[in-house]
Amino acid sequence: MKPATISPGSSKGEESKFKRMFVDIWKYRMTYTLLIPGLIWLILFAYMPMAGLSLAFKHFRANDGIWGSEFIGLENFEYLFRDPAFAAAVWRTLYVNIIKLFITFPFPILLALLLNELRMRRYKKVLQTAFTFPHFLSWIIVSGIIINVLAYDGFVNSLLSLVGLPTVNFLGSEQNFYPMIILTDIWKSTGWGAIVFMAAISGIDQEQYEAAQIDGATRIQQMFRVTLPNIMPTVTIMFILSVGGLMSSGFDQIFNLANAATQNVSQVLDVYIYRVTFQSSSDFGFSSAVSLFRSIVNMVLLLLADRAAKWMGGDGLFR
Amino acid sequence: MSTLARKTKKAKFSTNRITALDIFIFIVLTLGALAILIPFWNVIMISFATQREYAENPLLMWPKEPTLNSYKALFADGSIGSGYWNTIKLMAVGLPLSMFLTVSMAYGLSRPKFPGKKPIFFLVLFTMIFNGGIVPLYLVMKDLHLTGSLWSVILAGSFSVFNMIIMMNYFQGLPESLMESARLDGAGEWRILFSVVLPLAAPIMATIALFYGVAFWNSWYDAMVFLRKADQLPLQNVLRAIIVESQTNASNATTIGQGGGAESFSTGMKMAAVFVTIVPIMAFFPMLQKHFAKGVLTGAIKT
């Protein structure tokens, strides 16, 4: 970048720098045209809504729109933090997602380990197909299946009464709601989650297994002493990354599995946002305040997760 | 390839005797798979059963007198048909649009250097970390006069930064010399993208198209928020109305399966609706699986 001869006036150097910049930009004009369609989309449907969050500090009136509404400072937030339903929704979200995280997290690892040890290769393929399939279905479809199977007169309850056990109201009771959320989450996403760990396992150096076998290690010992320690970095990263979603995950599932009987326990933050925005008399300023709160917390969690993952020696969220 | 080598090596080392461990693993995994498959099976069988048979035995594994009545009732209602049609429209417009947006931006950002690359990339990434959420998006759609039209759902779902980055990573792995030589021949970047890069990118194109396809097929939240009229709703929303919302309404009523009298079997109809919504995913699943099994996505899932 440095010119060989020192230019007498700095202004002239600046000028040529600018000129060079424009020449450069002109040179790459084609590249920018590639970016334009995507950038237009991002401006319209990502950055405009972001700017629209400024409604959180405004008193929304439909006639004035997002930009013309009156500025009222933090009033919406004062209402928000005084709303007991909001605080309850925040804690409920964290509670559900944290227990979900701790209980569901080991399942994909376990599945990957077991599939890895399965020696029938054809059958392994079949199993993987079965396990990953539910991931590609929407929570609406899965709810349809689950509601049917766990209904009062459904498959599971019929089976229970057949063997003489009492039937259970799986989906219609507050106290069973969170266990059902965990169970259905395991049902739907274990197979997909296992793929990352399977990939990590297939990357393990085979000499380690050979060495272990020469030392007389059994297969179970190999599993715990070779396979597991080798995939531990992946395990750590995946765990940290799921911490990033503590405030945002699970809406589709909870919203579709909830019903009138579980109305109270199902009101996590996103459900709360939906209800205050589109079901009760809507005050978009107030809902924007909730959204802004949610977005900021999400961002902080994600950035913390990213930092932690990088600190652990992983790629982080964005390479 | 490496897995294959590993397997043969492993086979050489491990004994071929079937141990207790093998049996244990076989049983656990089979039970797990059954726990996944039986609910599907149950849904399908109920959709083909008569109400009488279902009432006698909800454990139904094979209907003795299979019938298509539930399907006839479902399609006679018409809402599933319009849902299908709306979802097809959604995908017919949304898929090409999303592929265009994704491919062009991914290729643009995969160029090694141009002024402003870093800030632009940051602006793109930032939307993954921070988003306005549904409320301001709804208001923006309203300002653009798109609410109440399928366009709102199409546009809202037509770009994913996540998919774009997967594709960008793939493009970055292509040899730069190919594009350079096309450039020397006088081809512009768009020409290079369509005639040099995309022919080399078939696997990733298929993967990303399947991703968008599944996302469009499964999308419901945008439609629930942006659309008002029932006849505009995509399939998932129709299904939701049939299953989830009717369940909420019916929770007060005592009988779910007997509403409507003799000719309509509402549980059967619900299950028929579920099955009809699953079938296309089932049809495409082998393709999907082939792609993510290939490892194209392992890097993607990690991020």
**A30 vs B263, more confident:** A30
CB contact under 8 A, B247 and A53: no
Q: Is residue A318 part of a domain?
A: no
Question: Is the pLDDT confidence value at A123 over 50?
Answer: yes
Per-residue pLDDT tens over the stretch B230-242: 999 999 999 999 9
Which residues numbered 213-232 in B keep a CB inside 8 Å of some CB on A? 214, 217-221, 225
Which residue is closest to B115 within chain A, CA to CA? A25
What does the alpha-carbon distance between residue A264 and residue A271 come to, in Å, rounded to a whole number? 11
Contact B42 A148 (CB under 8 A): yes
pLDDT of residue A18: 86
Considering only CB atoms, B132 lies closest to which of A53, A126, A146, namely A53
Residues A46 and A87 in one domain: no
A154 touches chain B (CB under 8 A): yes
Distance CA B238, CA A99 (A): 32
Residue B44 touches partner A, C-beta closer than 8 Å: no
- Do A162 and A202 fall within a single domain? yes
Same domain, yes or no: A208 and A113: yes
Beta-carbon separation of B136 and A153 below 8 A: no
Q: Would you call A30 and B188 a contact, using CB atoms and an 8 Å cutoff?
A: yes
User: What's the pLDDT at A315?
Assistant: 64
Q: Is B186 on the interface with A (CB under 8 A)?
A: no
Q: What HEC string does chain A produce?
A: CCCCCCCCCHHHHHHHHHHHHHHHHHHCHHHHHHHHHHHHHHHHHHHHHHHHHHHHHEECCCCCHHHHCEECCCHHHHHHHHCHHHHHHHHHHHHHHHHHHHHHCHHHHHHHHHHHHCCCHHHHHHHHHHHHHHHHCCHHHHHHHHHHHCCCCCHHHHHHHHCCCCCCCCCCCHHHHHHHHHHHHHHHHHHHHHHHHHHHHHCCCHHHHHHHHHCCCCHHHHHHHHHHHHHHHHHHHHHHHHHCCCCCCCHHHHHHHCCHHHCCCCCCHHHHHHHHHHHCCCCHHHHHHHHHHHHHHHHHHHHHHHHHHHHCCCCCCCC
Indicate whether A164 and A31 sit together in one domain: no
Q: How far is B282 from chain A (nearest CA, A)?
A: 8
Q: Are residues A159 and A44 in the same domain?
A: no
Q: Is residue A4 part of a domain?
A: no
Residues A189 and A231 in one domain: yes
Strand partners for A70 = A59
Chain A residues with beta carbon closer than 8 angstroms to that of B109: 35
Whether A298 and B130 lie within 8 Å, measured CB to CB: yes
Interchain proximity A219–B14, CB inside 8 Å:
yes
- Any domain includes A319: no
Name the residue of chain B whose CA is nearest to A113's CA. Answer: B25
Which of the two residues, A249 and B72, has the higher pLDDT score? B72
The pLDDT of A14-40, averaged and rounded, is 90
Residues A61 and A173 in one domain: no
Q: Is residue A115 part of a domain?
A: yes
Query: Please, which residues 56-85 of chain A have a Cβ atom closer than 8 Å to chain B?
Result: 65-66
Where does chain B hold its CATH 1.10.3720.10 domain(s)? 77-247+278-302
- Of A310 and B268, the structure prediction assigns the larger pLDDT to B268
Contacts of B136 in chain A (CB under 8 A): 48-53, 55, 66, 288, 291
- A-interface mutation test, from B26, B53, B135, B236, most A Cβ less than 10 A away: B135
* Residues of chain A neighbouring B36 (CB-CB closer than 8 A): 130-131, 133-134, 187, 191
Q: CB of B3 within 8 Å of any CB in chain A?
A: yes
Determine, yes or no, domain membership for A317.
no
The pLDDT, as a whole number, for residue B256 is 40
Residues spanned by the domain of A56? 10-71
Cβ within 8 Å, pair A66-B123: no
What per-residue confidence (pLDDT) applies to B259?
Answer: 42
Least confident of A2-16, A122-136, B94-108, B153-167: A2-16
Verify that A234 and A102 share a domain, yes or no: yes
| pLDDT interval class at A53 (50, 70, 90) | very high
ipTM, two decimals, is: 0.88
Residue A2 lies in a domain: no
pLDDT of residue A305: 87
> What single letter denotes the amino acid at residue A254?
I
SS3 B120: helix
Q: Do B59 and A159 meet the contact criterion of CB atoms below 8 Å apart?
A: yes
Final residue belonging to a domain, choices A23, A47, A71 = A71
Task: Give the end of a domain, one of A47, A71, A95.
Answer: A71
Averaged over successive runs of 10 residues, the pLDDT of chain B (303 residues) comes to 48 65 95 96 93 85 89 90 96 97 96 92 93 92 94 96 91 91 92 94 89 94 93 95 70 40 73 95 86 54 40
Considering A35-44, A215-224, B237-246, the range whose residues carry the highest mean pLDDT is A35-44
Q: Do A259 and B9 touch (CB under 8 A)?
A: no
Residues A105 and A42 both lie in one domain: no
The answer to whether position A83 is within a domain reads yes
- Number of domain units in chain A: 2
Give me the CATH number covering residue A138. Answer: 1.10.3720.10
Q: What is the pLDDT of residue B261?
A: 43
CATH class of residue range B77-247+278-302: mainly alpha
Last residue of a domain, one of A71, A93, A112: A71
CA–CA gap between residue B80 and residue B110 (Å, rounded): 42
Task: Quote the DSSP letter at residue B247.
Answer: H
| Domain co-membership, A54 together with A143 | no
Could you tell me if A206 lies within 8 Å of chain B, comparing CB atoms?
Answer: yes
Residue A1 in domain: no
Say if the Cβ atoms of B134 and A148 lie within 8 Å. Answer: no
Q: To the nearest whole number, what is the mean pLDDT of chain A?
A: 89
B265 touches chain A (CB under 8 A): no
Contacts of B146 in chain A (CB under 8 A): none
Note whether A52 contacts B136, CB cutoff 8 Å: yes
- Closest CA of chain B from A302, distance in Å: 7
State how far the alpha carbon of A239 is from the alpha carbons of A106, A186, A221, A312, in Å. 10, 15, 24, 11
Residue A11's pLDDT is 57
Q: Is B123 on the interface with A (CB under 8 A)?
A: yes
pTM for the model: 0.88
What's the mean pLDDT in A82-98? 94
